[in-house]
Structure 1
Amino acid sequence: MSDRFVFQASKEEVKQLFHVTSERDDFFNSDFNITPGSLIPAICKEDGERKLYKFVWGLIPENAEEEKEGRGNYEAAIENLEENKLLIECLAQRRCLIPAKGFYKWKTTEKKSTPFFIRLLSNELTAIAGIYSVWKSSSGRDVYSCAMLTTSANALVQPVDDRMPVLLHPDDHKRWLADNEIKPGDLKQFLNSYLITDLAVNRVSEKVNDLDNNNADLIQPIPK
């Protein structure tokens, strides 16, 4: 099952946490079942300002003929970045922060897949490390699209899935959005933003499997 995540925050919360100085689009409603291909909020740095835009979740190559060429490019494993010229270029100069309340993972056995929701123990908003591109459509419109960076799961998440998004602590936001170039070998400094004790993993309702379901009940823990 494809990865999904949750966005739940007020406009002021996002602007304060990420020090947003400019916004181009209408703000976003809370979404408890975000899937690849969706429009999502993300923050990038342009002209010295932190800007909040709507991004397509799925990285569209700048030389793509159609927007659909971004399908499938919704995540990028940090171990494989050096194999892809587009990803290296985006990592070097086009990085973004993807606000998230948490993310879903499914524990798969021979009999079934069980959904889990991973969040900060404090229940605060966090940021997923992202890279982005700007693709110009046939109508001349700039389309911002992004992919999440993923890494090996930590000891807390590993029993559910062997991969997880790269989560960035607020102390790392400035470095991530800095103008200096970042290479794949530099990513190690961002992989321990949070301790295992900062996170919570909770089993949640299988209602999340149905994309028509989208409400706060989806992230409520199911008692063991």
Structure 2
Amino acid sequence: MCGRYALYGPHSRLREQFGVDLAELRERFNIAPTQEAPVVRAGADGEPELIDARWGLLPSWVKEPGKLAQPINAKIETAGEKPMFRHAFKRSRVLVPASGFYEWVPLAGYKQPYFIRPAGGDSLFGFGGLLEHWDGPEGKLLTFAILTTAANDLMRPIHERMPVIIQPQDYGAWLDPGVTDAQLVRELAREYPVGAMEAYPVSRAVGNPRAQDPGLIEKIAV
């Protein structure tokens, strides 16, 4: 599962890693469901473009949004077959830039959050995501979900699931709407290398979605 993540640092990282540009990156240390966040999709010319979308998938065919759960995650193993996700899985995949994500470990009487980021903290993850649009009374709403996969060896002591993290050499194929074979898509979501990421405990204040302090990503002793 992935229920909170962060995006911060110099905006040049987006250009260098994803080939998109942004005049200024608003640093966010606690992105939560229902909030808008930047995602990268293939533009009309095939080149990557950065757009904002709301976290919580709402497919175009939904008639009454209030009566349907709007999932923030989708399992890579089954997303290609489930009606909620299968169109986006084939035709509308995105990358979700992230400086890191949070996960909680149950301890005696409380849950201890951990921050998981690229090793060294000087680059970004590109989560595999699904993008949908919904036409409502106030216009088109873009929404997304983050795909999850089985935990690798670093994540397994923390949680059994983790975000799908696409490796940079696979960004083009991942975003390509012409790549529709479900098995090939799943192969692009292969296990992320343990040595390319690190995890450490952080403040429990991250549990409050209104918290946005840079201190949320600082390592603490437990």
Q: TM-score, normalised by structure 1?
A: 0.88
Partner of 1:12: 12
Which residue in 2 is equivalent to 1:45?
42
Shift of 1:82: 4.2
Contact 2:170 2:188 in 1 (8 A): yes
Distance in 1 between residues matched to 2:181 and 2:135, nearest whole Å: 26
Q: Deviations over 1:173-216 (max 9, x none)?
A: 11111232334322442233631011101011111112232121
Instruction: State percent identity of aligned pairs.
Output: 27
Gaps of 5+ in 2: none
Following the alignment from structure 2 to structure 1, what is the Cα–Cα distance between the partners of residues 154 and 97? 21
Which consecutive unaligned segments of at least 5 residues does structure 1 have?
none
Tell me which residue corresponds to 2:102: 104
Amino acid at match of 1:174: G
1:55-94 correspondence runs (5 A): 55-65=53-63, 68=66, 71-94=69-92
- Match of residue 138 from structure 1: 137
In 1, Cα distance between equivalents of 2:116 and 2:58: 27
Structure 1 residue 142: Cα displacement: 2.0
1:150 aligned partner: 148
- Matches of 1:171 and 1:55, distance apart in 2: 24
For 2:86, the aligned partner's letter is I
Residue equivalent to 2:125: 126
What is the identity, as a one-letter code, of the residue corresponding to 1:73? P
Q: Deviations over 1:61-87 (max 9, x none)?
A: 102235556754111011222441231
Letter in 2 for 1:127: G
1:32 maps to 29
d(CA) in 2 for partners of 1:70 and 1:2?
20
Is 2:182 the partner of 1:203? no
Whichever structure has more helix as a proportion of its residues is 1
Q: Name the TM-score, length of structure 2 as normaliser.
A: 0.89
